[in-house]
Chain A
Amino acid sequence: MNNTTTKPRPIDIVNAGLAKRYAAEKRFRLYGFSAIVISLCFLGLLFVTIVYDGLPAFTQTYLKLEVALPEAEFDRENLNAANYPLFIKQAIRSYFPEVTERREVRDIDNFISNSAPFDLEKAVFADPSLIGKSVTLWVLADDDVDQLVKGHIDRDVPEIERRMSDRQIAWVDSLKKRGLLERKFNTVFLTTGDSREPEQAGIWGAVMGSFYSLLITLLLSFPIGISAAVYLEEFAPKNKWTDLIEVNINNLAAVPSIVFGLLGLAVFLNFFELPRSAPLVGGLVLTLMTLPVIIIASRAALKSVPPSIREAALGIGSSQLQTVLNHVLPLAMPGMLTGAIIGMARALGETAPLLMIGMVAFIVDVPQGITDAATALPVQIYLWSDSPERGFREKTSAAIIVLLVFLLAMNALAVILRKKFERRW
């Protein structure tokens, strides 16, 4: 027993490696922590850039005009016939009496969005007594002016590479100094449909399109999803057939969304000849996509209702259906609602299948029903992101903000529901 001195004790081996192992432990912990930090940083970067980009779109530059409406230019019987664009042009030109060259005059005319004559026309129709007087009107400034006022046009860039010439910038600055330009809250963005002109483009058409699609989706997928879940969880025998249905549902939840778009294109548009670009078809496709999500969530909710409830109901003579309808379903309903809301939130953000069924068309009108041509909020984002004008970039970000607000509201609702009705048995 004298070799204990030559052979090291196990505790020494352990101690010798300890520092290294503790360092490894620390490193490992750090990796894990940084993984979370990295993903949250990306989340933060995403939100910050989009909010920073998009917030300016909620204000819009307006130009104050003193429009003279000479009596002689009007035919009282036919107010439409008056030359409203001319009145607007005269009004803006009167701010710069020194400018006379034709090209320069045109530059000044272009400071105003081409929607201004319609605003004027509306004002005259609303109050014909204005004729012969002069009316003070705040009209939309053109997109370029708007971008300049918001500071998005870099004045240091050489003149040729800029969208506005030095002279134009000087004119805009002078208008601003005279208090004729003002940034106001952008109601146009929230109340109108799409437009080729960034300053006139709004999201209301897309919001309504999304609303109608989601309405169809909710009306179809919620009852069908719950029925399917009830059958599979409460009635279905355990056999090959129900197994097949189950595997199918799980698979459908993971099928790429664009494949659902192909299905919608081939079946709803080409076979059933439903109208293209309509929220009806969009809603049907989204229904098929959302169904698996709702079914899976509803089954989980049904599963969490303890069997004692069912046994008690059956024990006093209820039929199986009565048990489910009167006792199990009310208890599982909060969970099902949460699942449905989450499914709807997903459907709201879905873009690819809607591209396939033609909801990418350029549509100016706000849809009035489920068969009108429409676009949806995420598709509108996609469309605008493709537009080269700088004005559309901030519109895109602003539309994303609106979409995210809806999504967050829906998810918050789901969380609140879950918290409120959470039940421990």
Chain B
Amino acid sequence: MIPAYVILLLLLALSAVAYMLGRNRAFAVAGGPAGLRHLHSRPGYYGALTALWCFGPAIIVFALWQASEGGVITGLVVSHLPPEVQALPPDRLGLVVNDVKNLVGGNILSGDPSPELRKAADEFIRLRVYSRVLLLGVCAMLAAGGLLLSRKGITPQLRARNKVERLVKWLLIACSMLAIFTTVGIILSVLFEAIRFFKIIPVQDFLFGLEWSPQMAIREDQVGGSGAFGAVPVFVGTALISIIAMVVAVPIGLMAAIYMSEYASRKFRATAKPLMEILAGIPTVVYGFFAALTVAPIVRDWGSAVGLSVSSESGLVAGLVMGIMIIPFVSSLSDDVINAVPQSLRDGALALGSTSSETVRKVVLPAALPGIVGSVLLAMSRAIGETMIVVMAAGLSANLTLNPFETVTTVTVQIVTLLIGDQEFDSPKTLAAFALGLVLFLVTLCLNIFALHVVRKYREQYE
């Protein structure tokens, strides 16, 4: 078995050789260092071109091979299985193939391996070795061929620089296209699974149903496993926690931003601002732990002291801690927009006799309002999509309630709980997670686009 990275390293080494050969060849066709001015490009470009021809085709074949190898080998192994096994329905056949793979990997099997299975596993291993040797051979041939051909083609007139640069530019374009591919990948992967879900559960039942209990009955006679997929309680829980978080984060963040930009001395600002930004850099799993183990007991004790019964996993605690996490998002974005308000507006208001706070409230804030709204919307989208805090502090049961002292659940919590553990991939329970993911993606996408639009439009106003 030849590991993939060995082939890769080999290709890289060969390309380095190709670079040297190409460069030397360029010197040779130019007739030594004195003749370099006859060359169209500098010698390094001839080397680079040779190296690219050596590396490029081989790596493309390598990537395609890697991607298709597993499927082809599995297909071949299956076609050599006894006909009665091949005649099994697809999902049973999949189990057999899995057993073969487990046997190859030395993992635990679902039962004792039969002789056919052992034979198949041996064949699997044999084919894999063949495939690797073949791959190595093909890659080496392509690399060597590319090297020799392009080296032969080196003449003083060859426009090596232009060729190399065109290629590099296409590479750069491909890299920036990755953002589009990622978005398309998200949309397609989430959408396809969600559509499969909506074939089982109608969209309107999902969006407007009032009961959420995704447990499906495994046996016919099971009680309480009917599976209800009305997502309203989940949406309400998400909204409740996000609103609590915003109630905490917006006033604190906004006031902090105002103080930082209007009142604070340079020295105070230089220490306080990075300290506040640490809040944004702390992993959310740490906040979750903090919420569940430190804040929740405190809130529960205070609640019982004034006669309120606070559930140990309450929306209040999750929202509170999430609000703290979001403070720096609100404050640093608001800080930017407040700083962008021209000094002349402040000077005008102060000259008319306003105090600083009146200037801020009546002139600066209204001028900065669109930008602040944008930053609040961005923070909101972060609160809706936040996962770890709510997973650890908010709870699992989907109560349709607006009482922050009770346990509520959110979209992200449900996605996590539905997808952790082993489920088959066509049960509505698993697919429901993707439907929730689709809603989450769309909602946050709209919020983001709108917020970015508002922020950007506002920023250009004074320029």
Stretch at the interface among B84-92, B300-308, B412-420: B412-420
Q: Shortest distance in angstroms between A302's beta carbon and chain B's nearest beta carbon?
A: 12
Q: Does A43 belong to the interface (CB within 8 Å)?
A: yes
- Cβ contact within 8 Å between B259 and A381: no
- Cβ contact within 8 Å between B381 and A254: yes
Chain B 324-352 near chain A by CB (<8 Å), digits 1 or 0? 10011000000000000000000000000
A27 CA to B179 CA, complexed, in Å: 47
Q: Shortest distance in angstroms between A381's beta carbon and chain B's nearest beta carbon?
A: 5
**Chain B residues within 8 Å of A411, by CB:** 281
- Cβ contact within 8 Å between B179 and A228: yes
A27 CA to B433 CA, complexed, in Å: 48
Q: Does B81 belong to the interface (CB within 8 Å)?
A: no
- Number of A interface residues, CB 8 Å? 88
A36 CA to B357 CA, complexed, in Å: 17
Chain A 236-251 near chain B by CB (<8 Å), digits 1 or 0? 1000000011011111
Q: Does A263 belong to the interface (CB within 8 Å)?
A: yes
Task: Tell whether A262 pairs with B433 under 8 Å between CB atoms, given A50-B290, A292-B179.
Answer: yes
Most A CB contacts (10 A, CB to CB) among B165, B178, B378, B425 go to: B178
Task: Tell whether A255 pairs with B445 under 8 Å between CB atoms, given A28-B360, A29-B357, A224-B175.
Answer: yes
Chain A 22-46 near chain B by CB (<8 Å), digits 1 or 0? 1011011101111110111011011
Across the interface, name the chain B residue whose C-beta is closest to A48: B294
Q: Does B444 belong to the interface (CB within 8 Å)?
A: yes
Q: Shortest distance in angstroms between A28's beta carbon and chain B's nearest beta carbon?
A: 4
- Cβ contact within 8 Å between A381 and B179: no
- Cβ contact within 8 Å between B255 and A31: yes
- Cβ contact within 8 Å between A355 and B416: yes
Task: Tell whether A267 pairs with B185 under 8 Å between CB atoms, given A29-B263, A32-B258.
Answer: yes
Task: Tell whether A291 pairs with B179 under 8 Å between CB atoms, given A256-B384, A256-B387, A262-B189.
Answer: yes
- Cβ contact within 8 Å between A227 and B172: yes
- Cβ contact within 8 Å between B416 and A231: no
Task: Tell whether A255 pairs with B444 under 8 Å between CB atoms, given A46-B282, A228-B176, A263-B190.
Answer: yes
A291 CA to B183 CA, complexed, in Å: 12
Q: Shortest distance in angstroms between A277's beta carbon and chain B's nearest beta carbon?
A: 12
- Cβ contact within 8 Å between B356 and A252: no
Across the interface, name the chain A residue whose C-beta is closest to B271: A40
Across the interface, name the chain B residue whose C-beta is closest to A46: B290
Q: How many A-B residue pairs have CB under 8 A?
A: 253
Q: Does A334 belong to the interface (CB within 8 Å)?
A: no
State which of A28, A271, A355 has its C-beta within 8 Å of the C-beta of B357.
A28
State which of B172, B415, B434 has its C-beta within 8 Å of the C-beta of A231.
B172
Task: Tell whether A228 pairs with B175 under 8 Å between CB atoms, given A248-B183, A351-B283, A393-B293.
Answer: yes
- Cβ contact within 8 Å between A228 and B172: yes
A225 CA to B182 CA, complexed, in Å: 13
State which of B192, B283, B353 has its C-beta within 8 Å of the C-beta of A378.
B283
**Chain A residues within 8 Å of B356, by CB:** 25, 28-29
Stretch at the interface among A87-95, A155-163, A184-192, A399-407: A399-407
A30 CA to B3 CA, complexed, in Å: 65
A21 CA to B284 CA, complexed, in Å: 42
Q: Shortest distance in angstroms between B242's beta carbon and chain A's nearest beta carbon?
A: 12
- Cβ contact within 8 Å between B289 and A381: yes
Q: Does B203 belong to the interface (CB within 8 Å)?
A: no
Q: Shortest distance in angstroms between B457's beta carbon and chain A's nearest beta carbon?
A: 13
**Chain A residues within 8 Å of B76, by CB:** none
Across the interface, name the chain A residue whose C-beta is closest to B176: A228
Q: Does A360 belong to the interface (CB within 8 Å)?
A: yes
Q: Does B448 belong to the interface (CB within 8 Å)?
A: yes
State which of A27, A39, A381 has its C-beta within 8 Å of the C-beta of B252.
A39
A272 CA to B70 CA, complexed, in Å: 9
Most A CB contacts (10 A, CB to CB) among B263, B282, B288, B392 go to: B282
A-side interface residues toward B, CB under 8 Å? 14, 21-22, 24-25, 27-29, 31-36, 38-40, 42-43, 45-46, 49-50, 53, 223-225, 227-228, 230-232, 235-236, 244-245, 247-252, 254-260, 262-263, 265-267, 270-273, 288, 291-292, 295, 319-321, 345-346, 348-352, 355-356, 360, 378-379, 381-382, 385, 393, 396-397, 400, 403-404, 407, 411
Assuming A22-B355, A255-B448, A262-B437, what are 7 further A-B pairs, CB within 8 angstroms?
A32-B258, A53-B293, A224-B178, A254-B448, A266-B192, A292-B179, A355-B420
4 interchain residue pairs of minimum CB distance: A256-B385, A32-B259, A349-B283, A266-B189
